[in-house]
Amino acid sequence: MPDAMHHAPPWTSSSRTDPGMVREVNEDACVDRPQAAMWAVADGMGGHQAGDLASTMLVEALCGIAPASDLGTYVELVEDALLEVNTELRTIAEARDAQAVGSTVAVLLAGRAHAVCMWAGDSRIYRYRAGRLERLTQDHALVEELIERGMLSEEEAIDHPHANLVTRAVGAGDELNIDLEMVEIAAGDVFVLCSDGLDKAVRDEAIADVLAHATVRRAADELVELALEHGARDNVTVVVVGVLDDPTDRD
């Protein structure tokens, strides 16, 4: 993964988090660090403020990482930080006699010509390019497994009674497996990181419609507002990242 980091950020970003229309506590958190080429969304779980604690710990750990000189090293630093938080959350859960205190996480790291998606759980990363929205992550969730087996349609999954049940998250088990996906980036690409509060309230087609007309700096607000208009029953967090120039032109 020999993709060197770029010193002058060739991207712009915006972010917003909201408790939604039903829940009083916002257990989501996010990272919006364009100068560090790092963005993330964390969706806490566990109740009784445990979810809030978990997502906050994740964000603080990520914000404490200094940018690396190359993308491969940066990925390793993030992996180490996530594993450390996983251990800390397991210790907290044991002390509280709780089954789990945890959080999903989706992280985007950008290099010169590539970006790396890292995730555990059902927080997502999309890429919008040339009018087409593509999901780059695969949910670690029970309903996703049922969809893959042909036992459930995507429409049925939205209102499924176990729609919020994830099969992987930071703090959910003693071992943490983080999925990674490397993608090329191009001028005009827009990435969207979100908690499931967005995708459960807003269809992909509507997300693409917003990205087609909104600037990156307005897109996060517009997507959250759209989720709220649709009755967002969960916390909603959105981070939008836009690539400003051609990676092939960089030194």
Per-residue pLDDT, averaged over 21-47, amounts to 94
Judge whether 2 lies within some domain: no
Residue 185 lies in a domain: yes
In a domain, 6, yes or no: no
Flag whether 251 is in a domain.
Answer: no
By C-alpha distance, which of 95, 19, 17 is closest to 50?
95
Tens digits of per-residue pLDDT, 165-203? 788 999 999 999 999 999 999 999 999 999 999 999 999
In a domain, 25, yes or no: yes
Has residue 4 been placed in a domain? no
Q: Are 233 and 201 in contact (CB under 8 A)?
A: yes
In terms of pTM, does the model score above 0.85?
A: yes
Q: What percent of the chain has pLDDT over 90?
A: 76
Range of the domain at 85: 11-246
**Total domains present in the chain:** 1
Phi, psi of 159 (to 5 degrees): -105, 15
Q: Is residue 1 part of a domain?
A: no
Q: Would residue 122 count as lying in a domain?
A: yes
**For the domain that residue 86 is a member of, what is the CATH number?**
3.60.40.10
Residue 4, beta-bridge partner list: 70
Distances in Å between the alpha carbon of 218 and those of 79, 225, 247?
Answer: 31, 11, 24
pLDDT, average across residues 23-27: 93
102-110 and 179-184 as β-strands: parallel, antiparallel, unpaired? unpaired
Mean pLDDT across 137-161: 64
Longest dimension (CA), the chain: 54
